[in-house]
């Protein structure tokens, strides 16, 4: 019903992803997808343009009600419409959260490797990041609970990313209960970036950490957006859910002078996404899951030296290239030799120089082409 095998040409569309590299490089780095937006969203945006005024915007009650209903239906999490604070993105949201509650010198726990703007956020507010790596086993990623519990006693905030970028790890209810209990014991603020939560594979549940119990919600700022799933990140709209009134007031105070009203078209697009594009999301999820598995098969067939744990969510693959024994980073190697623009592992933290992140939110044939380019480059290498 929806055609994810055909991708519109994105050159000359002001796309960040497609502007960074020369035209002969296939870009697979920043986290947006190459799929045309759901027809329901395009129609809603067109309809809005029939009215010729694009003034400052506030969210309609219908959007708040839609989010409340979706959270209840999908995650059995009950919130009220006033708990939602609209934002020009999730990144401003986690920065505002830190600014709202912490004072310079305090520590923020982060699980590495990590999406760069989260790694950088503490530094913007004079805070110190405390990094605890995720552990990797044969089956994939997981928590080092002892290290986490020990570090949490020092941290004033836990900046959680669930589903996790870049590994695609989806925290289990048990993981989250452990984290929540440790944060309760240490009286730590939880800032939970759940931007990838609508793209969880294999029928696995996503559990918002704040949904575990009202007392956990009280210490949590949850951040969500339709942007990743529905491919509308250029509309710059996200939202925080903060059930505790004092915490919400502090968060709103932190926006002062920097984060004002939200993008009008982003609000329209978000409502259309959640209200009208559910079947599109489900079709996309199937396509991405098949892409994920296709990538696994192609890597196994052509480049078995790359270690790959299939992600449990979203469209990002975290590839360990250390066994390839390249003389430069895999990012530099594949850029030069395969004309492939991957995301460099070192961006996600020190010690990840031998990794790259590959965005498989593209057509299957593009994905096949990418792995073939990598395999050909490896087969040609002399001294790289």
Residues lying near ligand PLP in the complex (CB under 6 A) are found at 31, 89-91, 115, 161, 165, 193, 195, 225, 227, 233, 238
Six-digit token pair at 353?
A: 């120089």
Take residue 196 and report the two structure tokens written for it. Answer: 């990838």
Q: Name the minimum Å distance from CB 330 to ligand PLP.
A: 20
Least distance in angstroms from the C-beta of 47 to ligand PLP? 24
CA dihedral (222, 309, 228, 338) in degrees, to 10, reads 140
Let me know: does 98 contact 117? Beta carbons within 8 Å. Answer: no
* Separation in Å, CA 379 to CA 300, 339, 343, 368: 15, 15, 22, 16
Closer of 230 and 333 to ligand PLP (Cβ): 230
Least separation in angstroms between residue 94's CB and ligand PLP is 8
Minimum CB separation of residue 75 from ligand PLP in Å reads 18
> Considering beta carbons, is residue 66 or 111 the nearer one to ligand PLP?
111
Among candidate residues 323, 315, 327, 347, the one with its CA nearest the CA of residue 28:
315
Minimum Å gap between C-beta 184 and ligand PLP is: 24
| Backbone conformation region of residue 226, classed left if phi is above 0, alpha if psi is from -120 to 50, else beta | alpha
What is the secondary structure of 328-352 as a DSSP string? Answer: S-HHHHHHHHH-EEPEEGGGG-TT-
Closest approach, Cβ 225 to ligand PLP, in A, equals 5
Indicate the residue whose CB is closest to ligand PLP: 89
Residue 228 CB, shortest distance to ligand PLP, in Å, is 6
Judge whether 204 and 312 are in contact, CB under 8 Å. yes
Residue reference for tokens 């305090």: 106
**Of 148, 104, 115, whose CA–CA distance to 130 is shortest?**
148
Q: Which is nearer to ligand PLP, 63 or 378 (CB)?
A: 63
Which residue, 278, 380, 260, is CA-closest to 41? Answer: 278
**Which lies closer to ligand PLP via its Cβ, residue 20 or residue 336?**
20
Identify which of residues 211 and 229 has a Cβ nearer to ligand PLP in the complex: 229
Toward ligand PLP, which CB reaches closer, 243 or 263? 263
Beta strands in 56-184 (DSSP E): 84-87, 107-112, 128-133, 135-137, 140-142, 157-161
Q: Can you spell out the DSSP letters for 248-298?
A: HHHHHHHTTTT--SBPHHHHHHHHHHHHH-HHHHHHHHHHHHHHHHHHHHH
- Quote the least distance from Cβ 310 to ligand PLP, whole Å: 18
**Cβ-based nearer residue to ligand PLP, 195 or 338:** 195
> Which token pair is 349?
């933290």
* Between 314 and 378, CB nearer to ligand PLP: 314
Residue 260 or 325 with smaller CB distance to ligand PLP: 260
Shortest distance, CB of residue 116 to ligand PLP, whole angstroms? 9
Compute the distance between CA of residue 9 and CA of residue 12 in angstroms, rounded to an integer: 9
């Amino acid at each position: 019903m929806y055609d994810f095998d055909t991708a519109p040409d994105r050159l000359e569309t002001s796309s960040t992803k497609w502007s960074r590299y020369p035209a002969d490089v296939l870009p697979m780095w920043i986290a947006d997808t190459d799929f045309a937006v759901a027809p329901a969203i395009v129609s809603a945006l067109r309809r809005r343009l029939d009215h010729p005024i694009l003034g400052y915007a506030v969210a309609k009650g219908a959007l708040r009600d839609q989010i409340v209903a979706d959270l209840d239906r999908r995650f059995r999490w009950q919130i009220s419409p006033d708990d939602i604070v609209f934002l020009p993105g999730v990144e401003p949201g986690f920065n505002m959260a830190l600014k709202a509650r912490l004072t310079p010198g305090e520590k923020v726990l982060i699980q590495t490797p990590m999406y760069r703007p989260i790694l950088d956020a503490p530094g913007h507010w004079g805070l110190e990041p405390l990094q605890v790596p995720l552990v990797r086993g044969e089956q994939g990623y997981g928590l080092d609970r002892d290290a986490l519990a020990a570090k949490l006693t020092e941290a004033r905030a836990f900046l959680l990313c669930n589903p996790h970028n870049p590994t695609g790890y989806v925290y289990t209810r048990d993981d989250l209960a452990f984290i929540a209990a440790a944060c309760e014991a240490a009286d730590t603020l939880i800032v939970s970036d759940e931007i990838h939560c609508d793209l969880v594979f294999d029928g696995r549940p996503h559990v918002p950490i704040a949904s575990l119990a009202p007392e956990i919600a009280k210490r949590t700022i949850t951040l969500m957006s339709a942007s990743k799933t529905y491919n509308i990140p250029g509309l710059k709209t996200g939202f925080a859910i903060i059930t505790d009134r004092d915490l919400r007031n502090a968060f709103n105070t932190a926006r002062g002078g920097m984060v004002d009203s939200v993008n009008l078209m982003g609000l329209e697009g978000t409502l259309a996404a959640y209200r009208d594009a559910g079947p599109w999301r489900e079709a996309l999820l199937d396509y991405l899951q098949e892409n994920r598995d296709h990538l696994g098969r192609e890597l196994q067939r052509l480049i078995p030296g790359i270690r790959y744990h299939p992600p449990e969510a979203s469209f990002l693959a975290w590839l360990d290239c250390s066994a390839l024994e390249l003389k430069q980073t895999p990012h530099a190697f594949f850029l030069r030799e395969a004309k492939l623009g991957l995301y460099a592992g070192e961006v996600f933290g020190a010690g990840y120089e031998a990794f790259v992140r590959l965005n498989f939110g593209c057509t299957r044939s593009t994905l096949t082409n990418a792995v073939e380019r990598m395999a050909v480059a490896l087969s040609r290498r002399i001294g790289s």
